[in-house]
RNA sequence: GGAGGGGUGGCCGAGCGGUCAAUGGCAGCAGACUGUAAAUCUGCCGACUUCGCGUCUACGAAGGUUCGAAUCCUUCCCCCUCCA
């Protein structure tokens, strides 16, 4: 195991840990902003770091198409290329097997994609996906899998999961172990407990530096997602980090930490920020709505982000309405800052054995709703 | 003075005898967004409405032709272009 994971404290099933990567440590529970194409959209790398992020996600599929993995490698790797000196986790392309279902053909050996950029065919196998992630210099490499869509017949979920397990084994062989670098396996099996169990056992038998839970937050709803975590997480090795892929909203993250998850990534704070939605302690706000037109207050007077320290809701509303680029920038910044505030709060709560109290306060405040309009 | 082109819902702009409360776009009002084909997408957008239809008022104004007119005819009002 060349990726060290230290378990610092626990409170119930919740864990406080530390991952040491070749590009710095990552305090867990951790949220990883998504930087698909070598950029966390609408954010400068330094600003991403200032929110408290210690690791971002990059994407095999997108970087393979453009500018190309070999080109990134020749330019010194993804950290240097995007000027992000900290840790990077790369998705394997497995999500695109689902999200680009109209543009790909899947077979036992791998997946052929037709590029949405120029129509050219690209081939991704477990081995090539790992190789690309090496070329990108990812600190954490993800196994190539198929993110199983939902809803799905059990038979199809089983076939999909077993294919991903086969690919996980092939990826493990292709992975070049180095100090500070790690490979994660991804548990599939949709919402079927016995399939999740089969998948978890298959992965632990192979042995990975960390274990991800994939195929969730794809439409099944929070309750089913939590149920699936409750049956899956206990099957994962306690001494390895656990990553819930693609999740989620603040309440999803909090609930998953309570169930033993250590790492998260999600486009929600960045994408929603670009589409005028702000996440706050007291719930969600759509800054495009007319009710903010004359509101001189910040999104959240207790938030320390630049949007909240320097700008009114009225101004942010104006920027969004005017389609000024600063609008998406500031809202993305706010959302990422708020997400990292949550993670800081979760980590501190677990350290001080006050997790239950923290969650109660979190839920109470979220339920209270936005401040009344002026 | 002469010749020609126009006036359509908040704006721009299609339609040129029925299937038109009237294509589109913008503006406006909301909603969605979960390992990013996303600075994207969806719904509503004359009035009333039991929100399902329906009813009413509508395509510069007034008349007329027609079973039926935003669409054809007459007159009037206004705008634009070119020539004097």
Same domain, A259 and A307: no
Nearest alpha-carbon partner for A210 in A242, A179, A181: A242
Does the residue A160 lie in any domain?
A: yes
Q: Which of these is catalytic: A11, A265, A300, A341?
A: A265
Q: Residues 32-71 of A near strand B (Cβ < 7 Å)?
A: 34, 36, 40-41, 57, 59, 62
Residue A284 structural domain = 276-368
- A266 marked among binding-site residues: no
User: In this structure, is the CB of residue A212 within 7 Å of any atom belonging to strand B?
Assistant: yes
Identify the CATH number of the domain in which residue A67 sits.
3.20.20.105
Which single residue has its CA nearest the C1' atom of nucleotide B28? A290
User: In this structure, is the CB of residue A91 within 7 Å of any atom belonging to strand B?
Assistant: yes
Distance in Å, residue A125 CA to nucleotide B6 C1': 64
Measured from the Cβ of residue A75, the count of other Cβ atoms closer than 10 Å reads 11
Nearest alpha-carbon partner for A236 in A261, A265, A255: A261
Nearest alpha-carbon partner for A329 in A287, A284, A281: A287
Same domain, A280 and A242: no
Does the residue A173 lie in any domain?
A: yes
Same domain, A157 and A72: yes
Backbone φ and ψ of A156, nearest 5°: -70, -40
What is the DSSP annotation of A49-88? HHTT--EEEEEHHHHHHTT-HHHHHHTT-HHHHHT--SEE
Residues of chain A predicted below pLDDT 70: 1, 372-374
Does the residue A271 lie in any domain?
A: no
A333 touches A47 (CB < 8 A): yes
Same domain, A242 and A337: no
DSSP A29: S
Please tell me the predicted confidence (pLDDT) of residue A8. 98
Same domain, A208 and A350: no
Measured from the Cβ of residue A336, the count of other Cβ atoms closer than 10 Å reads 26
Contacts 24+ apart (CB under 8 A), A173-180: A173/A127, A174/A126, A174/A127, A174/A130, A174/A131, A175/A130, A175/A141, A176/A134, A177/A2, A178/A2, A178/A22, A179/A2, A179/A22, A180/A2, A180/A3, A180/A20, A180/A21, A180/A22, A180/A23, A180/A139
Point out the domain boundary residue: A205, A234, A266.
A266
Same domain, A107 and A27: yes
Does the residue A374 lie in any domain?
A: no
Measured from the Cβ of residue A43, the count of other Cβ atoms closer than 10 Å reads 23
Please tell me the predicted confidence (pLDDT) of residue A374. 57
User: In this structure, is the CB of residue A325 within 7 Å of any atom belonging to strand B?
Assistant: yes
Please tell me the predicted confidence (pLDDT) of residue A1. 60
Please tell me the predicted confidence (pLDDT) of residue A225. 98
Point out the domain boundary residue: A239, A266, A293.
A266
- Per-residue tokens: A258: 């309570």
A137 touches A77 (CB < 8 A): yes
- A239 marked among binding-site residues: no
Distance in Å, residue A261 CA to nucleotide B46 C1': 55
Which ipTM was obtained for this model?
A: 0.93
Say what the alpha-carbon torsion angle A59, A61, A65, A71 is, to the nearest 10 degrees: 50
Q: How many CA atoms does the CB half-sphere of A229 hold within 13 Å?
A: 28
Q: How many CA atoms does the CB half-sphere of A309 hold within 13 Å?
A: 6
Same domain, A109 and A208: yes
Q: Residues 151-180 of A near strand B (Cβ < 7 Å)?
A: none
Q: pLDDT tens for residues A38-53?
A: 999 999 999 999 999 9
Please tell me the predicted confidence (pLDDT) of residue A373. 59
Point out the domain boundary residue: A219, A239, A266.
A266
Is omega for the bond preceding A248 within 30 degrees of 0, making it cis?
A: yes
Does the residue A373 lie in any domain?
A: no
Q: How many domains does chain A have?
A: 2
Does the residue A102 lie in any domain?
A: yes
Give strand B nucleotides closer than 7 A to any protein Cβ: 27-41
Same domain, A253 and A307: no
Does the residue A319 lie in any domain?
A: yes
Same domain, A195 and A97: yes
User: In this structure, is the CB of residue A247 within 7 Å of any atom belonging to strand B?
Assistant: yes
Please tell me the predicted confidence (pLDDT) of residue A119. 85
User: In this structure, is the CB of residue A287 within 7 Å of any atom belonging to strand B?
Assistant: no
Is omega for the bond preceding A67 within 30 degrees of 0, making it cis?
A: yes
Assess whether A91 carries a catalytic annotation.
yes
Same domain, A281 and A355: yes
Same domain, A256 and A358: no
Give the gyration radius of chain A's Cα atoms. 20
Same domain, A182 and A95: yes
Does the residue A12 lie in any domain?
A: yes
């Amino acid at each position: 195991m060349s990726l060290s994971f230290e378990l610092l404290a626990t409170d119930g099933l919740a864990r406080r840990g530390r991952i040491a990567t070749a590009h710095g440590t990552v305090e867990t529970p951790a949220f990883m902003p998504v930087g698909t194409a070598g950029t966390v959209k609408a954010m400068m790398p330094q600003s991403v770091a200032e929110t408290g992020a210690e690791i971002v996600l990059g994407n095999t599929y997108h970087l393979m198409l453009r500018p190309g993995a070999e080109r990134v490698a020749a330019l010194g790797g993804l950290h240097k290329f995007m000027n992000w000196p900290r840790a990077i986790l790369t998705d394997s392309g497995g999500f695109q097997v689902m999200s680009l279902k109209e543009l790909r053909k899947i077979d036992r050996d791998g997946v052929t994609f037709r590029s949405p950029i120029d129509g050219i065919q690209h081939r991704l196998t477990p081995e090539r996906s790992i190789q690309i992630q090496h070329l990108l210099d990812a600190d954490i490499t993800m196994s190539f899998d198929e993110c199983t869509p939902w809803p799905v017949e059990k038979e199809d979920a089983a076939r999909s999961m077993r294919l991903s397990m086969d690919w996980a084994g092939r990826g493990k062989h292709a992975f070049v172990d180095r100090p500070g670098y790690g490979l994660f396996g991804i548990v599939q099996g949709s919402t079927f407990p016995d399939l999740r169990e089969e998948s978890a056992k298959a992965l632990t038998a192979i042995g990975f530096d960390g274990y991800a839970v994939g195929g969730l937050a794809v439409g099944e709803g929070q309750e089913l997602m939590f149920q699936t975590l409750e049956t899956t997480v206990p099957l994962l090795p306690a001494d390895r980090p656990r990553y819930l892929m693609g999740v989620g909203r603040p309440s999803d993250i909090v609930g998953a930490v309570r169930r033993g998850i250590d790492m998260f990534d999600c486009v929600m704070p960045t994408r929603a920020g670009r589409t005028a939605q702000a996440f706050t302690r007291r719930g969600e706000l759509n800054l495009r709505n007319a009710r903010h037109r004359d509101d001189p207050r910040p999104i959240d007077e207790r938030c320390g982000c630049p949007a909240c320290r320097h700008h009114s809701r009225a101004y942010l509303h104006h920027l969004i309405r005017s389609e000024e680029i600063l609008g998406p920038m500031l809202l993305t910044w706010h959302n990422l800052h708020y997400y990292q505030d949550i993670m800081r709060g979760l980590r501190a709560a677990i350290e001080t054995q006050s997790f239950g109290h923290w969650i109660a306060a979190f839920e109470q405040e979220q339920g209270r709703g936005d401040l009344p309009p002026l």
